[in-house]
Structure 1
């Protein structure tokens, strides 16, 4: 997610500069053809262009609304993960005791169990964010030149999941989790089994056990919701056709716009001959501005289709997960030096 003060127009121009170059080339060729070959008769009426433009604007608006809905839903889901994680952390700390055990249990043993449960939850967050960063075949936005040239990558591309899980799981638990395809689900299963064992030992009261199991259920729900967004792409029949329609408009537009400027130039020639003779060349900046606006709005929609792909416009799940981890570990009593720092926002981008 880009977290600069504002998205400056210079940022947008730089982001779209390759396409803008092609707009200038396209309109420059059309203007040169009309100017040097005198093709004033070769034109498209404005009525069909207006119909096409209206249809394209409608489809782009539909796409952007749908894509924004996906992004906003993803952010709400991860907001739910934040809240449920904090609740789980405080419940674990306050619901584990030796009040219902048959034999006395030391405070050190209780603290050890609380830490194991909390660390396993952090491992679940880690596994979930890694799963969300796995590249799907329809996720191609991050491959665009204007995204790769920054040279920054999400944390999940800089280290392996196994290395990240080592500080939070025992060796046997780590091997068990890594043997599964869905590691985040395996961790929630393990968490539930651990809670049941503590309930059987009397370290968790039965009512408290049910409350904690409800939180596990809520985590499963949130996990399923974020996996749904990850694994179900924005429908291609909308995204692909919208892209083609937009380019159809931009390729046909010069055949209506250039003759219009030629007619205006002929009218001006009666008063300002020099201006009138060259007025057709003003088509270039006007067309470029119109094409840039249509293309940029369509590209914004494409960029936001996959809110977990790992680009500058995605939901910052890595930062959210690390923020939860910092909260949980600080409330375990760990010092700042023991807790990993928040991920840096390189070039104003928060992953």
Structure 2
């Protein structure tokens, strides 16, 4: 999905409010214990903690760059699907003619063949986006409570692929596609078989047939690239260790931060005893800010690891596919009443 408006600071704060509350609880407990109990001996020096923090910052940065790379690659792949789909629609309309036909057929039959190929392509896009939305064990971002509470689910969650592709293809094609594990590949095979039949009848010139087969080859390539991203997760050892390293840093931080503020408060007490006594409580906002920044950056990276999962930061493949369908069907001469509307935007988010 794609968010049309940038997150405001308030929206980001709401998105991370549960973790922020946990950070607040942790630091309040530490400061309270340090203020009322004699545990000034419980501390660690800044040097090892700074080294840990630097390492965590590096790995989080690496994770975010890798996650953005996966999102950007997915967007380029589906941009390629847009361009190739338009090319296919144009070729089909102009290359299916009686010019080289052994036995010319009526214009109505030519139009029927063009519509069948175009609709089967729409069915292919529909099957592909359903495959990309299928849940994988490593896709857990959508299950987070702050994501579930918005109730933002992709259109594929409301209808099965079996029902979604049914209006676009014949009963025999539907039966064939549903009998295969990879339904989108089966539909491209049917496209190739159909084009071959038309070529044998002379309705498609041999050179035009090669051109159209080249387009199908490109669609298969783009499909394979999309499936590669879907089926190969961001390496778990990187993702899991980054998460653990971040929490190790966040949990160790009070052991250095609270004593530091306590020492500063003792120095201030020489000039102002009231401020010096309670200066340690300023640890709370500083800790929450630092912990929030590290956690939020790490969570942003995790959110972007799976660009087809169906969350607010994913590639809007449903909107892209429906946009292509609208273009193709309009160029077939269909009226707006016959063409489905674009998927609605929810909370300024495209699916």
Give the TM-score, by structure 1 length.
0.99
Deviation (angstroms), 1:2: 4.0
Query: Which position in structure 1 is the counterpart of 2:89?
Result: 89
Kindly indicate whether the alpha-carbon contact (under 8 Å) linking 2:77 and 2:226 is maintained by their aligned counterparts in 1. yes
**Could you tell me how far apart the structure 1 residues matched to 2:98 and 2:287 are?**
75
Q: Which residue of 1 aligns with 2:181?
A: 181
Q: Any unmatched runs of 5+ in structure 2?
A: none
In the TM superposition, residue 272 of structure 1 has moved relative to its aligned partner by 1.6
Task: Give secondary structure in 1 for the equivalent of 2:350.
Answer: coil
Deviation at 1:152, TM superposition (A): 2.0
The separation in 1 between residues aligned to 2:10 and 2:39, in whole angstroms, is 36
Q: Secondary structure at the match of 2:211?
A: helix
CA distance in 2: counterparts of 1:45 and 1:288, whole angstroms: 20
Deviations 1:254-293, CA, capped at 9 Å, x for gaps: 0000000001111111222111111111101100000000
Matched, 1:15 2:15: yes
Deviation at 1:104, TM superposition (A): 2.3
More deviation, 4-13/310-319? 4-13
Q: How does 1:220-235 map to 2 (within 5 A)?
A: 220-235=220-235
Aligned residues: 351
The answer to whether structure 1 residue 50 and structure 2 residue 35 are counterparts is: no
Alignment of structure 1 residues 276-315 onto 2, 5 Å: 276-315=276-315
Q: Verify: 1:31 aligned to 2:44, yes or no.
A: no
- SS of the residue 1:202 aligns to: coil
Please state how far the C-alpha of 1:38 moved relative to its aligned partner: 2.7
> Counterparts of 1:67-146 in structure 2 under 5 Å?
67-146=67-146
Superposed CA RMSD: 0.7
CA distance in 2, matches of 1:241, 1:68: 19
Note if contact 2:4-2:350 (Cα within 8 Å) is conserved in structure 1. Answer: no
Conserved 8 A contact 2:42-2:255: yes
Counterpart of 2:167 in 1: which secondary structure?
coil
Tell me the TM-score normalized by structure 2: 0.99
SS for the counterpart of 1:167 is: helix
Equivalents in 1 of 2:99, 2:68: separation in Å?
Answer: 50
| Residue aligning to 1:335 | 335
Residues 103 and 201 of structure 2 are in contact (CA less than 8 Å); yes or no, is this contact kept in structure 1? no
> C-alpha deviations, 1:75-109, integer Å up to 9, x for none?
00000000000000000000000001122211111
